[in-house]
Structure formats: structure tokens, C-alpha cells
Amino acid sequence: NCYGLDVSAEMLATARASVARAGLTDRIRLAQADATGFDPQALFGRPGFDRIVISYALSMIPPWQPVLAEALRRLGAGGSLHIVDFGDQARLPQAFKRLLSRWLALFHVAPRDDLPRIIRELAETAGANCRVDALFRGYAVHAVAEMPAA
């Protein structure tokens, strides 16, 4: 079963239409909620999740650190949080980095340069193992936090 949290009613409607077109309405359930605090029992009839995926969203959410804390809190035993987002672009050519930063700013996207440090700290506090990799010369960050099995 797949479960999804979305922040936009329009995006949710689009996702529901896609799920219906794919014939997966019996397997995928979508709900709109605030990622910084939600009740998975009320939304999905379950206490937590085996997998949570956050893809290129933290760079667009002003209170992004509470989103990570909440995601870790909602993982079940043996569950994992998978994150990919814009990185610090540290090893990209400076001209490309400046151009990319300007382009992202047009869409209110702010790379979280301290994402690797913050996810490691939050994972440690939550009792999760965490690995973080910089991808494509710092263009992106990929992090996985795994809760111990019961």
C-alpha cells in the first residue's frame, strides 16, 4: 500500500486523477496534511509508516527541520526515511552555481546547505542510523535514515 501527504489541494487532485487512471485507487490512498505535524491514524488508519520519501520538497518548505523530525517520529520499527534534495553545489563550477541559485530563487527554492548535518543530528536523537551522500558534485543530497528493527 502507498500513502501520500500533499500540501496543495490542486496537486492532490492531480495525484488522485493519476492514481485513478492507473487503476490503483484500491492500493494508494492520498491525503492533505501539514508535514510538520499530522496524525497518520486519522488520515490513513495506521500509527506510522515503513517508508517515507521526501523528494525535492524540503528546499521549498520554510519550516523544513520540523518536517524531518516529524517524518522520523512517524517511522515504525525497521522503517526508513529517504530524502533527496538540492545540495550545497560546493563542487560545481561557480558560474553554474550562481545561475542555478538564481533560477531556483525564481521558484522560491532554497537549498538547505545544512541538510546533511541536521538529518544526522535528528536521526541520532531519534535513534536511527543515517547515511548521507553528496551527488553530482554537490548538486543534490541523498540521505537515508533507518530505524532499528523491533
Cell representation of residue 95: 558560474
* Number of helices (H), then strands (E), in the chain: 5, 6
Q: Among the residues of 5-114, which ranges form H helices?
A: 9-21, 40-44, 64-73, 94-106
Query: What is the rounded distance in angstroms from the CA atom of residue 29 to the CA atom of residue 4?
Result: 7
Question: pTM (2 decimals)?
Answer: 0.84
pLDDT of residue 71: 94
pLDDT tens per residue, range 85-97: 999 988 989 999 9
pLDDT of 3 reads 46
Q: Is pLDDT larger for residue 109 or for residue 4?
A: 109
Question: pLDDT tens digit string along 16-52?
Answer: 999 999 999 999 888 888 888 888 888 888 888 999 9
Look over the chain and give the mean of its residue pLDDT values, rounded to a whole number: 89
Using DSSP's 3-state secondary structure scheme, residue 133 falls into: strand
Query: For residues 148 and 127, is the Cβ–Cβ distance under 8 A?
Result: yes
The SS3 assignment for 100 reads helix
